[in-house]
Structure 1
Amino acid sequence: MKNTFAGHGRGYLEGPPRQVPGFASLHRMVEMLLAERVPEDGRALILGAGGGMELKALADAQPGWTFDGVDPSANMLELAAETVRPHTDRVRLHHGGIEAAPRGPFDGATCLLVFHFIEITERARILAGLRQRLRPGAPLVLMHISFPQAEPERSQWIARHAAYGAPPGTDPAHLAAAREAIGMRLTILSPDEEEAMLAEAGFERTSLFFAGLSFRGWVCYRG
């Protein structure tokens, strides 16, 4: 997995609440969707666990669950270890990509705010690895940037994304640079393309549970 998650160290914890519409409710929604299938003593895989915010929120809400968190950034895993300190006995952290994750089987998995940093061929490999580690019927919850890729819609959505995350009064030149970076550095698919990839990887009953400006969230199940 690419070692390019947004933000580094403590500054990362400040980024998502500012950049992601609806972030304050995201972890509650994810926990509800997982809990529909994950038993009280279930085991969950958190792919892209750096920072530990998601791990802590899920561990706070589900005292019987155990977690394996995976991230390619050693620095981010150090921050995650701090964040989840109250739940150390139920959380194991692993440095690397999907290949570093235990074989499972897991009762559920998440991959939040990650896939727009991952190239398409690598996404397919990651989805295959997730499927192999999940029990049949187990939920996978994803959320990342996704919007139409035909012009002029693509450029308009990139501009909206850059503007939302920028502080008030940002220099227009900085916004222009941000738009260019988003267009060049991120791998963004349309919602239809996202759902097609999930189906091709062997996930079923994909449903959209979140749509906030440039972000989309789905829940699907291992077939």
Structure 2
Amino acid sequence: MATDAAPSQETFIRSFDDPAAVARYAEGPQRFVPGLEALHRMTVLLLAERAPRDASVLVLGAGGGSELKAMAEAQPGWRFVGVDPAGEMLKLAERVLGPLMERVTLVRGTIDDAPKGPFDAATCLLTLHFLEAAERTRTAGEIRRRLRPGSPFVAAHASFPQDPGQRDVWLDRYAAYPVAMGADPDAVAKARAAVAASLNSFSPDKDEAILREAGFKDASLFYAAFTWRGWIGHA
């Protein structure tokens, strides 16, 4: 995140279509999201509780390819449809996946461009925080409609207390972690300012309520790391 004004969804899409920004992307999530590799492993385990060995998995926000690679390596029988609005990020996913691409179909677009399914599982990692509340609810609902009944859905994104007395404390923690991981302090300060200005950061209670409103009535928290949260729910 590299703007100081409240970012729109279109602004983020444009930034992720910038080849120079995409070239720097790979190290970003590793530094900013505590336990990212563990989040990927937990996602696989949670999906595998109900998804069959030959599952078809919908991955929304698939650009970059890191979660696709983790899931494809862990479950050799699964096939994937990865959807992302940023073409440059999809190109990066192709490079990251390499020969694993034989089990992956990439689609440029939003949830409305995804196949109707039905899918056996779905994920949306580090993506829903780009959407305002109504569009976030609609998108989660469209994911649910593409799932077989009872199929698992894992969502994880920025979600932290928004109360004025707590918000800055959590934003400081958000910034402290990547600096401790070796990120440039000036770049981190810009990222913190962008997150602080965003209108799309909600409290964990609100985020869980959005998932429930979208039809994932049993949505429950499984991951919490500073300003990040992850939920598992079933269609």
> Taking structure 2 as the reference length, what is the TM-score of the superposition?
0.87
1:204 equivalent in alignment to 2:217: yes
SS in 2 for 1:204: coil
Greater RCO, 1 or 2 (C-alpha within 8 Å, sep 6+): 2
CA distance in 2, matches of 1:64, 1:169: 40
- Is the 8 Å Cα contact of residues 45 and 110 (structure 1) preserved in structure 2? yes
- Computed over aligned residues only, the root mean square deviation of the Cα atoms, in angstroms, reads 1.9
> Quick one: which of 185, 190, 194 aligns to 1:170?
185
Percent identical across equivalent pairs?
A: 50
CA distance in 1, matches of 2:189, 2:76: 45
- Is the 8 Å Cα contact of residues 117 and 186 (structure 1) preserved in structure 2? no
CA distance in 2, matches of 1:38, 1:122: 27
CA distance in 1, matches of 2:123, 2:39: 12
Q: Could you say if the C-alpha distance between residues 169 and 125 of structure 1 is closer, same or farther in structure 2, counting changes exceeding 3 Å?
A: closer
Aligned match of 2:149:
136
Aligned match of 2:106:
93
- Is the 8 Å Cα contact of residues 2 and 72 (structure 1) preserved in structure 2? no
SS in 2 for 1:104: coil
Aligned residues between the structures: 220
CA distance in 2, matches of 1:81, 1:175: 28
Stretches of structure 1 that go unaligned for 5 or more consecutive residues are none
1:164-207 Cα offsets, whole Å, 9 max, x none, are 22346735xx6654433211135111111111111111112212
> Taking structure 1 as the reference length, what is the TM-score of the superposition?
0.92
Aligned match of 2:127:
114
CA distance in 1, matches of 2:221, 2:209: 13
- Is the 8 Å Cα contact of residues 123 and 154 (structure 2) preserved in structure 1? yes
One-letter identity of the residue aligned with 1:136: P
CA distance in 1, matches of 2:37, 2:67: 11
Aligned match of 1:54:
67
> Quick one: which of 207, 219, 224 aligns to 1:194?
207
1:75 equivalent in alignment to 2:102: no
Q: Could you say if the C-alpha distance between residues 75 and 178 of structure 1 is closer, same or farther in structure 2, counting changes exceeding 3 Å?
A: closer
Q: Could you say if the C-alpha distance between residues 101 and 170 of structure 1 is closer, same or farther in structure 2, counting changes exceeding 3 Å?
A: same
- Is the 8 Å Cα contact of residues 116 and 186 (structure 1) preserved in structure 2? no
CA distance in 2, matches of 1:80, 1:37: 26
